[in-house]
Each structure stands twice: as C-alpha cells, then as structure tokens.
Structure 1
Amino acid sequence: MDFTVLIPARLASTRLPDKPLADIAGKPMVVRVAERARQSRASRVVVATDSDKVQAACAAHGVEALMTRGDHASGSDRLAEACTLLGLAADDIVVNVQGDEPLIAPSLIDEVAQLLHAQPGAAMSTAAHAIRDPHELHNPNVVKVVTDAAGLALYFSRATIPWWRDGFARDMQQLPEPPALRHVGIYGYRASFLLEFPRLAQSPLERLEALEQLRALWHGRRIAVHVTAHEPGPGVDTPQDLERVRKWFEAA
C-alpha cells in the first residue's frame, strides 16, 4: 500500500515563534518530524510550507518541501494545495502529520494509513487511545471521540463523552469501562476528499466545538478511528514542551 505523508509547517505561532525552525539536538523541529515520518512505510514525505526559511531548512537536510500560499485559512487548505501540486490521484491516501510532533511514532502513521485503506466507506481516518486519567476525561482541552461498532466516529467533543450517568453521579473521579477515548490529532485522507474538504461549508457544531473534523461528519462523511494501545509522544506547543522534547532527544 502506497501513501504520502504531508507535514504542514508555517512560522506563525503566538506561543512559540518560528516553531518549525526550533532547534532540537542540532536539527530544526520540522526536519525531526520528517525524519520520524520517513521511518514509516510512506512512499513519500513532503513538508508543505509558506516560508522560504522552512523550505531552505528542509533542503539543507535533504527533506522535500513544497511552497504553498500564505493565505490559507487552515492546515487542510494547505494540504489540499499540496495534493494538487504533487499531482496525486483521487484514490491516493495522504496522512497529515503535524509539524510540531517530533516524537510521532512511525507505526502510528502506518496504522492510520492502513485503516483508511481497509475502510473503503470512510473518507478519513484518525487515531485515539484510552483515557486513564480523570483529569483528562473532564478537561475541555482534551478532545474525546465516540465510535460505532465498526470503529467509525460518531462524534468528537471537548465535553466528557460518553457521559457515565450512574458512575459520575457517585464519583466524578471514576473512569468508565470500557474507557473513554482521547482523540489523537493525526489524519488520513483520500486525496479526493482532501481536495473537497475546504469547499464544504463549516458546520454549526464545528464552530461551537472549534473542531474541524466535525465538518466531515456534518456533511455525512465517515471517519475511521484506530484505537492505539500507546499514548503518543508529546507535541510542542509551548517553550516548556520544547525543553521536554529536547531532553528526550539528548537522552536517546
């Protein structure tokens, strides 16, 4: 099975300026992400950026990078342009790996791609893992997902879903069994849907929850969910996150 990894990378970041270029053990973060993605079974790994600096940094380390427009409203729009520039076929599979995930597991990339290949009725795939911490379960910054019997997403929410009526009435610190699922922000797409997605109207639920994937569900598309046994490595959103990741690479 062939698939392409696309890594969107733009310099704008309020909490961590020039984040894709942040040094991690002698290499820019976006290069570290690409190196992890190259350990997957992807036939091609490409960075999609709007920055000459990012493109130059990738070139210096032998990473393929595409220049995309600077006015895209979201990462999905940037990926759609990249699909066009790469000339991908409608049924090609694309895995979107975020540019701030230098500890992404190559096996997780493969699993997300394989799941979409195995689910012909799905337009997208993604991942989740069991929540084992009550704080995460009730934290609105942690996105939850519920699925049907076939492992297709029914809904994503910042709220606590599913709501354990009887258990939470006794103790909010209890965890339901089977466990609730934390959504992991990695996505597989069929190239045809990735090109269509930016043209779909935003849904009211997407605006309420501030979750772009709800647009797909609103318009009747299916999202297959791979439940992984392992929590993903930490992403980089803050200077503190960056220091933790630097220490991991130093110790590796």
Structure 2
Amino acid sequence: MSVLIAIPARYASHRYPGKPLVPLKGVSGKSLTLIRRSWEAAMAVKGVDRVVVATDDTRIRAEAESFGAEVVMTSEACVNGTERCAEAHENLGGGYEIVVNLQGDAPLTPAWFVSDLIDGLRSSPEAQIATPVLRCDGRALAALKGDRAEGRVGGTTAVFDADHRALYFSKEVVPYTATVYAPEAETPVYHHVGVYAYRAAALADYPKWAHGPLEALEGLEQLRFLENGRHVLCVEVDARGRQFWELNNPQDVPRLETMMAEMGIE
C-alpha cells in the first residue's frame, strides 16, 4: 500500500499562534523550528513514499522550503489537521492508499510509532482509521493531571474496547483513577499520540460530515469519525524508554527541550 505522510501546520493556532515557527533547542543548544523537527521525525519513518508539509500560511511555507521540505498549500477553511490532510491529498491528485497525519506539534514522535500504526491499519481491514496510544507511567499521568489542575489542556487520553476499537477520546484524564502511582509504574490511562493513518476513502469522507457535538465540546478532530460510526483502531505502541509529549502551550517548550536533552536529541 502506498503511503503519504502529510504534516498539517497552521500559523493561527487559538492556543499558541505561530507555533510551527517556535524554535526548540536540542542538547547542543542548536535551535530548530518546530515544523523542521516534525519534518525530520517524518523523514525518519521507513517505507513511506512521500512526505509533505500542508499549510495555508506563506511564512510556514517559506520556513519549510528553506530546509528542503515539499509543501502543499491548502485553504484557510480547513478547521483541523484531518481536513487539511484531506485537501492536501486531493491537491496532490490522490492515489495514495494510506495517508498519515503526523501533526506538526509532535516532534518527539518516534519513527516506530508511525510504522506500527501503518502496520496496524494494514492488518485490520475492518478499520478505516488507526491512531497510536501509549500507556502512561506514573510520571506521564502526573503531568497530565498537573496540567488539568492548572487549567491547561495538555495531552489527550483514549479509552478502547478489548479489540482496541476506540470508544472515546478526551482532553480530560480518562478513565478516572485516584491512585497515586510511582514514576515508573504502569497506569490504566492511555495517552493518545496525535498521529493518524487513514484509508483514502475514509479521509475523503471526513470533510463532508457536519461537526458533531462531541467534536465541538472536546475540540478533538478524531471524534468526528466516532460520531459517524467509523471504526477507529487504537494501536498500542512501546515508548522503548523514550519520553513523548506534544507542544500544546507555551509552557510545553521547556518541557520538550528538557526531554530532548535527556534523549540526546541535537
């Protein structure tokens, strides 16, 4: 199956305007923009036919082209990354069997997360969309709860059935647990990793659907698939000792830079 990775990136983020152009320092002190680090993460995935940055902003386009990325311009009407990926795939003439949405705010996404996601979709013909979930250890769960206690939207959590079919995604920490876990202990909470692999037909259908109440309340694009009865596969991935976090708020910049230093990322 042919695979396209699209990196949707917009300048006018409600929570963090200009986020794709925010510099992140690696362990050596070298600063690279968020969009460049996300592109490098995408380029590290094996078995992919094409990687593009999908944006509606000329500043992001200029930055992406400055380091050699292919850019597909999309309209300002796209309300989320999935719609932008759908438009980018259409603008490229279609033809890809799987389109991966590697969102431009997750530069720490390991290549094997994406590979496992693609493999999961290929091996589950009943699923139209696949997305990775990562079991939280005590440290990650404490960070999620800390963000919510401070009124910040941090990571997203996921719940799924015995066959790993998604039941719900939330910006709240679900399922509820009052237990305090040791930093390295496993917890029953799964962090949703903001990456998606879509079959082309499901992606093409997505912009045609009206926004449902759950998507509107949570601000989570993947809920539109659930609200329209589509099978979303949650693929559990292994962090292999690496930390993972998205850049959602300005407060996440030092958190990501600390993680990058701990992992030796330049």
Alignment coverage as a number of residue pairs: 244
- Displacement of 1:232 after TM fit? 5.0
What is the 5 A alignment of 1:24-35? 24=24, 25-35=30-40
Corresponding residue for 2:63? 57
SS at match of 1:193: helix
- Alpha-carbon spacing, 1:232–1:125, altered in 2? closer, same or farther (3 Å): farther
- Displacement of 1:55 after TM fit? 1.3
CA contact (8 A) 2:106 2:194 kept: no
Matched, 1:156 2:169: yes
CA contact (8 A) 2:128 2:230 kept: yes
- Displacement of 1:71 after TM fit? 2.4
- Alpha-carbon spacing, 1:244–1:205, altered in 2? closer, same or farther (3 Å): closer
SS at match of 1:239: coil
- Alpha-carbon spacing, 1:96–1:150, altered in 2? closer, same or farther (3 Å): same
RMSD value, Cα: 2.7
Q: Distance in 2 between matches of 1:162 and 1:244?
A: 25
SS at match of 1:180: strand
Corresponding residue for 2:226? 217
Corresponding residue for 1:104? 109
Q: Percent identity?
A: 35
CA contact (8 A) 1:6 1:47 kept: yes
Q: TM-score, normalised by structure 1?
A: 0.84
Q: Distance in 1 between matches of 2:2 and 2:126?
A: 18
What is the 5 A alignment of 1:38-77? 38-41=43-46, 42-77=48-83
Corresponding residue for 1:23? 23
CA contact (8 A) 1:137 1:180 kept: no
Structure 2: gaps of 5 or more residues: 25-29
- Displacement of 1:187 after TM fit? 0.9
Corresponding residue for 2:247? 236
Corresponding residue for 2:200? 191
Aligned residue identity for 1:198: P
Q: Distance in 2 between matches of 1:159 and 1:211?
A: 12
Match among 199, 206, 229 for residue 215 of structure 2? 206
- Displacement of 1:161 after TM fit? 4.0
- Alpha-carbon spacing, 1:105–1:210, altered in 2? closer, same or farther (3 Å): same
After superposition, what is the alpha-carbon deviation per residue over 1:72-93, rounded to whole angstroms, capped at 9, x for unaligned? 222222111101011223x611
- Displacement of 1:122 after TM fit? 0.9
Q: Distance in 2 between matches of 1:159 and 1:87?
A: 38
Corresponding residue for 2:27? none
What is the 5 A alignment of 1:118-129? 118-129=123-134
- Alpha-carbon spacing, 1:58–1:222, altered in 2? closer, same or farther (3 Å): same
Higher-Rg member (1/2): 1
Corresponding residue for 1:82? 88
Q: Distance in 2 between matches of 1:162 and 1:239?
A: 27
What is the 5 A alignment of 1:162-177? 162=175, 172-173=178-179
- Alpha-carbon spacing, 1:159–1:12, altered in 2? closer, same or farther (3 Å): closer
Aligned residue identity for 1:200: W
- Alpha-carbon spacing, 1:191–1:23, altered in 2? closer, same or farther (3 Å): same
Q: Distance in 2 between matches of 1:161 and 1:27?
A: 34
CA contact (8 A) 2:134 2:190 kept: yes
- Displacement of 1:39 after TM fit? 0.6
After superposition, what is the alpha-carbon deviation per residue over 1:31-74, rounded to whole angstroms, capped at 9, x for unaligned? 22111110102221100011112112222211111111122222
Q: Distance in 1 between matches of 2:109 and 2:7?
A: 12
- Displacement of 1:5 after TM fit? 0.8
SS at match of 2:194: strand
Structure 1: gaps of 5 or more residues: none
Matched, 1:179 2:188: yes
